[in-house]
Amino acid sequence: MSSSRVLVLNSGSSSVKYQLLDMRDSSRLAVGLVERIGEETSRLKHTPLTDGGGSREWTGPIADHEAALKAVAEELAKDGLGLDSPELAAIGHRVVHGGQSFTEPTVVDDAVLAEIERLIPVAPLHNPANLTGIRTAQALRPDLPQVAVFDTAFHTTMPESAARYAIDVETADAYRVRRYGFHGTSHAYVARATAELLGRAPEEVNVIVLHLGNGASASAVENGRCVDTSMGLTPLEGLVMGTRSGDMDPAVIFHLMRVGGMSTDEIDTLLNKKSGLIGLCGDNDMREIRRRIDEGDERAKLAFDIYIHRLKKYIGAYYAVLGRVDAVAFTAGVGENAAPVREAAVAGLEGLGLAVDDARNAVRSDEPRLISPAGARVAVAVVPTDEELEIATQTYALVVKNI
């Protein structure tokens, strides 16, 4: 029996999302999530998809990512899908920061682990969790290939003019300060799926991808290759996000230090965890913000307007970067679900050939779909992302190639 299953682990700062897939037909055998890791009320939700048996949920303290992964392995074993299965071909890991070293999915060895560890200072929320996920998986199945799929990989095609900050070159190079970009697995998948929706080859299509989740980023994809993206050295730059500020004058930091007496760590926490939508109005969930706006809440409305203003600026910027745009694709939690965000983001851009048809925009579906009016010059689309499937596909392709 040949091994055809891949377990995908997407370890975030306080969560692990996972999927077990059978790559013969890319079907899912189990999916799940562990959240609030490190708190007293961690929650594990596991859904086996093999027998329609329904989800199992469990709440209690899960101290760290190692304990989380062991709990996931136990849940999988209960369904006969344990990590000891000979059908498991590989474990694929989302790794957020790969620096300039990794442009492709990579089989993990000691040197790869050391490089991911070296990059912790530029991805302090993400890379430590990714490392623990890999090490724990290695301990559970030392014989299996562990494959790292990097968020940064898709963006390594950016030209220097987009990747460099305009700061002293020697200083930038000494500390590897440059724009790396993130969510690359999603941007690559969505750009390709958008071309498919248009019935065209990815290599001949220019797309602006708007990945709007809790973290959010935009990218300009020219003929299938990324030429610019909104996140930078870290996932803090760019769009307004759930809890992150995105772009601002860097002098705000000096001001808060000198005048506000704040420490580096305090400002880091402020900008990464207490800013963006939650900093502006106290909520980071777009559903809650829309509900408050419907009730006439002014702070929620202002937060929404700031979010949209930034998004619209990036659409305009990437339109200029690309020159010709075939499609604008909305994806991730907000992009796939929040029709008012999509409507507001392209409102007034008819001059650029961009418009949303209200009836099409109101449709709820898990399928890629056009929301621009028939015959529009630029397609506006909703294209659900699937980072886990993309990681599984890349992982399996690499493992099969190496056999």
Ligand X SMILES: CC(=O)OP(=O)(O)O
Number of residues forming the site for ligand ADP (CB under 6 A): 13
Q: Binding to ligand ADP by residue 287, rule CB under 6 A?
A: yes
Q: Which of residues 193-232 bind ligand X (CB under 6 A)?
A: 213-215
Q: Which of residues 160-189 bind ligand X (CB under 6 A)?
A: 182-183
Does 235 engage in binding with ligand X (CB under 6 A)?
Answer: yes
Candidate residues 332, 344, 349, 383; the one interacting with ligand ADP per rule CB under 6 A: 332
- CB of 146 closer than 8 Å to CB of 138: yes
Neighbours of 297 (CB within 10 A): 17
Catalytic residue selected from 25, 110, 151, 173: 151
Residues between 236 and 275 with contacts to ligand ADP, criterion CB under 6 A: 242
Binding mask 79-98 toward ligand X (x if CB under 6 A, else -) reads: -----------------x--
The neighbouring-strand residues paired with 57 are 45
Residue 143 known to be catalytic: no
- Shortest Cβ 186–ligand X spacing (Å): 9
d(CA 244, CA 116): 23
* Cα–Cα distance for residue pair 253/37, rounded to 1 Å: 30
For residues 30-62, one letter each, b for 16 or more C-beta atoms within 10 angstroms of the residue's C-beta and e for the rest, the string is bbbbbbebeeeebbbebbbbeeeeeeeeeeeeb
Sheet holding 88-95, edge to edge: 56-60, 42-48, 27-35, 16-22, 5-11, 88-95, 146-150, 106-107
Closer residue to ligand ADP, CB minimum distance, 145 or 246: 246
SS3 label, residue 127: helix
Shortest Cβ 285–ligand ADP spacing (Å): 4
Indicate the residue among 249 and 295 with the shorter CB distance to ligand ADP.
Answer: 295
Under rule CB under 5 A, residue 279 binds Mg ion = no
Cβ atoms within 10 Å, residue 16: 24
CA 10 to chain centre: 10
If you write DSSP's letter for every residue of 147-204 in order, what string do you get? EEEETTGGGGG--HHHH--SS-HHHHHHTT-S---S-HHHHHHHHHHHHHHTTS-GGG
Cβ at position 17, least distance to ligand ADP in Å: 8
Kindly state the smallest distance separating residue 204's Cβ from Mg ion, in Å: 28
214 binds ligand ADP (CB under 6 A): yes
Taking CB atoms, the residue at the shortest distance from Mg ion is 213
Count of residues binding ligand X (CB under 6 A)? 9
Least distance in angstroms from the C-beta of 341 to ligand ADP: 8
**Is 76 assigned to a binding site?**
no
Contact partner at residue 337 from ligand X, ligand ADP, Mg ion, none, CB < 5 to 8 Å by partner kind: ligand ADP
The Cβ of residue 200 has, within 10 Å, a number of other Cβ atoms equal to 13
Where is the binding site for substrate, in residues?
94
Q: Which residues are catalytic?
A: 151
Where is the binding site, in residues?
10, 17, 94, 211-215, 285-287, 333-337, 387
